[in-house]
Structure 1
Amino acid sequence: MSSDDEDFMSDTLSDDEYDNDSMGMLGETADESEYEEENDQFLEDTKFDKPQKKAYEVDFRALSANDVKSEQDKQINEVSSILGRSSEQCAILLRHFKWQKERLIEIYMDGPEQVLEESGLGQDYNISPRLEKVAGFECGICCDDEPGLDTYSMKCDHRYCASCYRQYLESKIKEEGEAARIQCPSEGCARIVDSKTIKLLVSSDAWYRYEELLNRTYVDDKQNLRWCPAPECEYAVDCPIRQNELHKVVPTVVCNCSHRFCFGCGLHDHQPCPCSLVKKWLKKCEDDSETANWISAHTKECPKCVSTIEKNGGCNHMTCRKCKHEFCWVCMGPWNEHGTSWYNCNRYEEKSGSEARDNQAKSRASLERYLHYYNRYANHDHSAKLDKDLYSKTEKKMTMLQSTSGMSWIEVQYLNQASAVLQECRQTLKWTYAFAFYLERNNNTYIFEDNQKDLEMAVEQLSELFEKPPDQLAQSKKEMMDKTAYVKSRRGILLEDTAVGLKNERWSFTVDV
């Protein structure tokens, strides 16, 4: 994880700002009150003297499996001290109420007997479960009546041999993935099997799986927790953003495994595009898949000599090998206009009413508009992959730089930083086109497109520097470092403006957000 990401993770809201912007809502339910209390505690635990965070940043922290277990134990102990019940009972109660502590306490105080019954505890409870030998016993599952057989029963008195009980529990845990709500094996009995019984009966590997499933259930039940979607990552992320806030914020978080994703929907980082627009855009791209496949083809013809050209790098500055004509891969216009006041590659020019006067013309204009945005969206996605591949080759250049220029490994890390910023900005630019597709045309749209244009031009310039041969990289070190910093700054400006606009509801969209 970069130092910037670490700073980003440690930034926090002030209590006043948090209360006003996120939690100061009238008519709170008991669930919301508890949620607010937990978020306040979250801010207390993560408060540091750091600079004010950006509008597009959110508070979050990554939790390991042990951290998640500690969070559960803390809440269980708090409820146990209030209700005067054992930790095992309180764990079952909290899981029944999906860890809504305040709601549990409120309803329990009104009628404890009913709560105990509905949660699967009942009035009686095994404080210290143990195996017993019962004379004349016959197991209702396997019909074994061997004398001296170990048996087990909860307070519901449904007794089975230890072997059958163990097999039942391990099947629930290992095959069905159940943990929080495992009921008594007797048909129709709703008594919940507690963790002490589980530990008494099952094998060590089943117990480990049981604890893992309890952690997963806890995270799934909590509004402010989400598992990191990266493959094989075992971290969860805590972020105090509610689902009803997602039209005003794009909550990008960074897990300890360095995976950057949206806390709201779990998809890869899609700033500045809100989750609802991302869902609509992906659905539209899927519906228009044949058109999308056609437009995202990797070969085009030179606009001057009509020779077939294949794109093999992230940079959009293309030079025809046959006629040496320089043009833009995206809009096919002359490259000498890119980087000047004539730059207009990112902006879609609407057709006048006279040009789209009939239904067929309107349909064609609608398709052209979609293709304009999809082409640029897909191009940045493709370029990001090519830039990533390019960096793999650049690692060899870094090694060559050390031997030819006398630089140390640390001194050539500017290429690593440039690559990371380049890929991050490609990801941002990709989603700016989905954002722009749904924007209504007004003065704010032009401001957005200007910021988009500035970032896109800077990214292309950095991408060009990145593709220089090894013998020129040493001479362009300062230029590349300066351009990397500038590109990063332009990304921040674009995201800040869009985030503030979402928060203040300044943007107008053609669809509901």
Structure 2
Amino acid sequence: MSRNNNSRRNGVRMITIKGISNRGTNNFNLEAINEYLQSLNNRNEKKQTIGLLNYIPRSKTEFKTYLKLIKDKISALLDVNIQKTLSLLNIFKWNIILLLNTVKQQKDAFYINYSLNVDPAEAGSKILNGFTCTICTDVFNSTNTFAGFCGHRFCYTCYERYVKSKIQANQSVIKCLDYNCKILLKDEEIALFLSTEELKIYNEASKLKFFRNFSSFKECPNLLCSSVVEYYSSLTLLSKPQIVKCKQKHRFCFSCSKGQHSIIPCDLAEDWLKKAATKFTNEENYETSLDSRKSKEWIYYNTKKCPKCNVDIEKNAGCNHMNCYNCKFHFCWLCLKEYINHNNFYECRDYTNAKVQAVKKFVYTGGKFMEHFNNYEKYYYEANLSKSLHKKAHTLLKGCGTRLKNSYGMLIDYIKKLIKCEYMIAWISVFTYYLTDPSQSRITEYQKSLEMYAYKSKNLIILNLDSLVSFELKKIKTINANMCKTANTIKELVDNGLDRNIWAFRD
């Protein structure tokens, strides 16, 4: 850092950080940052809102272009090069509002805290004489050393061991070796320490790195789709499902990156899909093939989720003391509680007591499961049939005369609402399965009404699809309105119960 002792303003000595221009009271253009933050809050792009979630669907090409625009803009605002900008964006998980607000809050200190004042020539590999490594404490007459752009330099051997240990632990986001440093290593820097085989492993992990670690963007879970959804609301995601629609019109839950699951919380939806043993990424990929069922069944009965980070873990040998490879949490394989209170590697008192209750619960829920599953499967099938009606209505709309265009447009809108309600009925069956006492709520009563409206609406649509009659269209409109009103009532009932924590769910 270079200091200009002669630079003063209002009797206060100013400090200039090397390589960065001194603009006003800070080393960045505060006015330009405020203007950009304001523009982010007033986006002109098309906004879509479902519940508390604001999002923008983008194609893969649009997404890459958008990221480049962000990098260029932040680089210009902070007066740093693209590589340092990219590192900052990764540190802040591409949350540009949080990044710029941190700059405003920390002001000059931001450049020091994130090593932006370090000369780029200090980074990379260098052979030094008389170097002492603060990690291994060895003193070298002459040795190869390495430093990221933060300038924290260590011997090459220590850095190599550190990077390889992170790769073996399946980590693709690797920070500087200095304990207090926040700077991330670049991909090309990590590659310096890896063999060809290790580099292949790292590259595979890196393919998932962006979407796994950065919550502002999610990739559509449909295997045939490459669309991306950007989440830009300042509100924190709740445990309630946040259903979004990608550029290719695939609906999925932004909170858990699974297919849409209507009204029920993500953890219950995930448990249900395992129990049901169905291959399901979204409604377009809904299958119940024997192979996919067997695969899901094997995962359900042979793996458990880490209690802390929710990663699937298989136990293939050894004691019950487990150490999660992803978050390093130590827990008991049997009871899934933190291992610190256990004193026996092969037995668990908590698990023994819980096992008795589990047997009773299995007897109670066994018959109930098939009843709820059959209704769930039935209405997914009905929703897929309604989609074929939707496609047919679009075909008829293109070939009809001017007089019928408005009528077919209205009918298409009614079919869309019917599809949503049929998916909701399917997931209501799941929700009531997990409730310890469904009779305490009025959900089952509303569910029956919703099923009746959906049935009547669908029958009228099928009968009038080829030759629309004005009177019948009015009947469909009335039934559709009642159906939507009932669906909204159910959603409000479920959401209020979740907000007030009044629902008691079966384990």
TM-score (norm 2): 0.51
* Residue 424 of structure 1 pairs with residue 420 of structure 2: yes
* Residue 58 of structure 1 pairs with residue 53 of structure 2: yes
Residues 154-209 of structure 1, C-alpha deviations (whole Å, 9 max, x = no match) = 999xxxxxxxxxxxxxxxxxxxx99x9332699549xxxxxxxxxxxxxxxxxxxx
Gaps of 5+ in 2: 1-33, 125-147, 152-171, 174-184, 195-204, 281-287, 291-357
* Residue 479 of structure 1 pairs with residue 475 of structure 2: yes
Q: State the partner residue of 2:256.
A: 265
Distance, in Å, in 1 between the alignment partners of 2:208 and 2:74 is 16
Q: State the partner residue of 1:491.
A: 487
Deviation at 1:283, TM superposition (A): 1.1
SS at match of 2:406: coil
Distance, in Å, in 2 between the alignment partners of 1:122 and 1:370 is 65
Contact 1:99 1:221 in 2 (8 A): no
Kindly tell me: are residues 370 and 288 of structure 1, through their superposed partners in 2, closer, same or farther at Cα, counting changes over 3 Å? farther
Q: State the partner residue of 1:226.
A: 218
Deviation at 1:412, TM superposition (A): 2.0
Kindly tell me: are residues 43 and 284 of structure 1, through their superposed partners in 2, closer, same or farther at Cα, counting changes over 3 Å? farther
Aligned equivalent of 1:408, options 400, 404, 407: 404
Contact 2:414 2:480 in 1 (8 A): yes
SS at match of 2:244: strand
* RMSD, aligned CA: 4.9
Contact 2:428 2:447 in 1 (8 A): yes
Deviation at 1:218, TM superposition (A): 5.5
Aligned equivalent of 1:456, options 437, 444, 451: 451
Kindly tell me: are residues 472 and 42 of structure 1, through their superposed partners in 2, closer, same or farther at Cα, counting changes over 3 Å? same
* Residue 250 of structure 1 pairs with residue 228 of structure 2: no
Q: State the partner residue of 1:441.
A: 437
Paired AA for residue 246 in structure 2: C
Q: State the partner residue of 2:504.
A: 508
Distance, in Å, in 1 between the alignment partners of 2:221 and 2:279 is 27
Deviation at 1:111, TM superposition (A): 7.7
Contact 2:237 2:255 in 1 (8 A): no
SS at match of 2:405: coil
Kindly tell me: are residues 427 and 47 of structure 1, through their superposed partners in 2, closer, same or farther at Cα, counting changes over 3 Å? same
Q: State the partner residue of 1:284.
A: 275
Deviation at 1:277, TM superposition (A): 0.3
Contact 2:71 2:82 in 1 (8 A): no
Distance, in Å, in 2 between the alignment partners of 1:223 and 1:374 is 32
Aligned equivalent of 1:45, options 23, 42, 60: 42
Paired AA for residue 214 in structure 2: K
Distance, in Å, in 2 between the alignment partners of 1:58 and 1:184 is 37
Deviation at 1:267, TM superposition (A): 1.9
Distance, in Å, in 1 between the alignment partners of 2:438 and 2:426 is 22
Residues 225-262 of structure 1, C-alpha deviations (whole Å, 9 max, x = no match) = 222335334333214488x8543x21112334433221
Distance, in Å, in 1 between the alignment partners of 2:397 and 2:279 is 42
Residues 245-299 of structure 1, C-alpha deviations (whole Å, 9 max, x = no match) = 543x21112334433221111222212011100111011111999xx989xxxxx
Distance, in Å, in 2 between the alignment partners of 1:288 and 1:217 is 24
Among the aligned pairs, what percent are the same residue?
19
Kindly tell me: are residues 396 and 124 of structure 1, through their superposed partners in 2, closer, same or farther at Cα, counting changes over 3 Å? closer
SS at match of 2:380: helix
Distance, in Å, in 1 between the alignment partners of 2:289 and 2:115 is 61
* Residue 380 of structure 1 pairs with residue 379 of structure 2: yes
Distance, in Å, in 1 between the alignment partners of 2:419 and 2:216 is 29
Paired AA for residue 41 in structure 2: E
Residues 327-350 of structure 1, C-alpha deviations (whole Å, 9 max, x = no match) = xxxxxxxxxxxxxxxxxxxxxxxx
Distance, in Å, in 1 between the alignment partners of 2:416 and 2:211 is 31
Kindly tell me: are residues 382 and 122 of structure 1, through their superposed partners in 2, closer, same or farther at Cα, counting changes over 3 Å? farther
Kindly tell me: are residues 70 and 506 of structure 1, through their superposed partners in 2, closer, same or farther at Cα, counting changes over 3 Å? farther
Q: Which has the higher contact order (CA 8 A, sep 6+)?
A: 1
Q: State the partner residue of 1:466.
A: 461
Contact 2:263 2:424 in 1 (8 A): yes
Distance, in Å, in 1 between the alignment partners of 2:72 and 2:206 is 12
SS at match of 1:226: strand
Distance, in Å, in 1 between the alignment partners of 2:191 and 2:398 is 68
* Residue 389 of structure 1 pairs with residue 380 of structure 2: no
Deviation at 1:379, TM superposition (A): 0.4
Contact 1:224 1:239 in 2 (8 A): yes
Residues 281-327 of structure 1, C-alpha deviations (whole Å, 9 max, x = no match) = 011111999xx989xxxxxxxxxxxxxxxxxxxxxxxxxxxxxxxxx
Q: State the partner residue of 1:366.
A: 365
SS at match of 2:187: coil
Distance, in Å, in 2 between the alignment partners of 1:482 and 1:442 is 29
Paired AA for residue 223 in structure 1: S
Contact 2:225 2:248 in 1 (8 A): no
Distance, in Å, in 1 between the alignment partners of 2:216 and 2:227 is 17
SS at match of 2:442: helix
Kindly tell me: are residues 68 and 214 of structure 1, through their superposed partners in 2, closer, same or farther at Cα, counting changes over 3 Å? farther
Q: State the partner residue of 2:228.
A: 235
SS at match of 1:60: strand
The list of structure 1 runs, each at least 4 consecutive aligned residues, that deviate by more than 6 angstroms after superposition, is 40-43, 102-107, 213-217, 359-362
Residues 5-63 of structure 1, C-alpha deviations (whole Å, 9 max, x = no match) = xxxxxxxxxxxxxxxxxxxxxxxxxxxxxxxx9xx979833599x9xx88x45333335
Kindly tell me: are residues 408 and 276 of structure 1, through their superposed partners in 2, closer, same or farther at Cα, counting changes over 3 Å? same
Distance, in Å, in 1 between the alignment partners of 2:82 and 2:279 is 55
Distance, in Å, in 2 between the alignment partners of 1:88 and 1:448 is 54
State the number of aligned residues. Answer: 322
Q: State the partner residue of 1:72.
A: 71
Kindly tell me: are residues 468 and 482 of structure 1, through their superposed partners in 2, closer, same or farther at Cα, counting changes over 3 Å? same
Distance, in Å, in 1 between the alignment partners of 2:211 and 2:245 is 17
Kindly tell me: are residues 116 and 92 of structure 1, through their superposed partners in 2, closer, same or farther at Cα, counting changes over 3 Å? farther
SS at match of 2:53: coil
| Structure 1 residues 144-223: aligned runs within 5 Å | 181-183=186-188, 187-188=192-193, 220-223=212-215
Contact 2:75 2:81 in 1 (8 A): no
Distance, in Å, in 2 between the alignment partners of 1:42 and 1:276 is 36
Paired AA for residue 234 in structure 1: S
Distance, in Å, in 2 between the alignment partners of 1:473 and 1:507 is 44
Deviation at 1:451, TM superposition (A): 2.3
Distance, in Å, in 1 between the alignment partners of 2:387 and 2:121 is 59
Deviation at 1:508, TM superposition (A): 1.7
Kindly tell me: are residues 122 and 399 of structure 1, through their superposed partners in 2, closer, same or farther at Cα, counting changes over 3 Å? closer
Kindly tell me: are residues 501 and 79 of structure 1, through their superposed partners in 2, closer, same or farther at Cα, counting changes over 3 Å? farther
Residues 94-116 of structure 1, C-alpha deviations (whole Å, 9 max, x = no match) = 43665474889778625839x96
Distance, in Å, in 2 between the alignment partners of 1:183 and 1:360 is 54
Kindly tell me: are residues 270 and 241 of structure 1, through their superposed partners in 2, closer, same or farther at Cα, counting changes over 3 Å? farther
Q: Greater strand percent: which structure?
A: 2
Distance, in Å, in 2 between the alignment partners of 1:451 and 1:214 is 47
Kindly tell me: are residues 484 and 43 of structure 1, through their superposed partners in 2, closer, same or farther at Cα, counting changes over 3 Å? farther
Gaps of 5+ in 1: 1-36, 126-153, 157-176, 190-212, 295-358
| Structure 1 residues 112-127: aligned runs within 5 Å | 112=115, 123=122
SS at match of 1:387: helix
